[in-house]
Amino acid sequence: MTQLGLFADPQEGPAGLRYTDDFIDRAAEQDLIGRIAALPLQRFQFGAFEGNRRVASFGYRYDYTLQRLAEADPIPDWVRPVARQAEAWAALPEGSVRQVLCTEYEVGVGIGWHRDKPHFDKVLGLSLGSPCAFRFRRRNGAKWERHTLAALPRSLYMMDGEARSQWEHSIPPVAARRYSITFRTMKRA
């Protein structure tokens, strides 16, 4: 387990955060990167603000303009085995991952502070291609509690409990191109 705590006891990560290195091997990583790179990725749109990361959603997507979930293309066959593998690791029922987000971060691109939409329940993320600092923060009175997870390529994290509901997360601009696959379960079936 690789967890790097900044400004905090390294033992004290957000409750409900789980992480494992080497969730997949290098061959599987290269295969998934090739699959994602071949997708018709769209620049992430958040109202008037255009983020720089590029994404493709499957199962469901969150429509920021209408502020609701919308159906998306079905989860592709090539994602299913790794989604099943993530469910097994997280002890989730098979098939409970109903939303998949594939993301590409070019050099210098990251993601700002946020919590994932409340429509989703558990959030798991597979890192591909390069490492990132996966940062967490939570307000504690006048201060922020902070934690940084060093997410290595081929690793998997899960946000559940407080890590999911109380803490915000962000990724500072990456030094090398990174891909991720985010697996989400739904709050209500």
Ligand X SMILES: O=C(O)CCC(=O)C(=O)O
Q: Please identify which residue in 99, 148, 155, 180 interacts with ligand X, judged by CB under 6 A.
A: 180
Residues 6 or more apart whose CB falls under 8 angstroms from that of 53 comprise 43, 44, 103, 104, 105, 106, 109, 110, 111
Cβ–Cβ under 8 Å, residues 172 and 110: yes
CB 2 within 8 A of CB 21: yes
Is the Cβ of residue 26 or residue 114 nearer to Fe ion in the bound state? 114
Looking at beta carbons only, is 13 or 125 nearer to ligand X?
125
Smallest gap from Cβ 153 to ligand X, in A, equals: 11
Query: What residues from 85 to 124 belong to the interface with Fe ion (CB under 5 A)?
Result: 116
Is 182 a binding residue for ligand X by CB under 6 A? The answer is yes
135 binds, among ligand X, Fe ion, none (CB under 5 to 8 A by kind): none
Verify binding: residue 160, Fe ion, rule CB under 5 A: no
- DSSP code, position 75: P
**Residue from 6, 3, 46 nearest 137 by CA:** 6
Residue 111: count of CB within 10 angstroms of its CB? 21
Number of residues that bind ligand X (CB under 6 A): 8
Residue 169 binding ligand X, by CB under 6 A: yes
What are the structure tokens assigned to 58, written together?
């499957």
User: Which residues from 96-155 bind ligand X, rule CB under 6 A?
Assistant: 101, 103, 111, 116, 125
* Among Fe ion, ligand X, none, residue 101 binds (CB under 5-8 Å by kind): ligand X
| CA distance linking residue 79 with residue 99, whole number of Å | 11
Binding positions for Fe ion, rule: CB under 5 A = 116
Query: Using CB under 6 A as the criterion, which residues of the chain lie in contact with ligand X when the complex forms?
Result: 101, 103, 111, 116, 125, 169, 180, 182
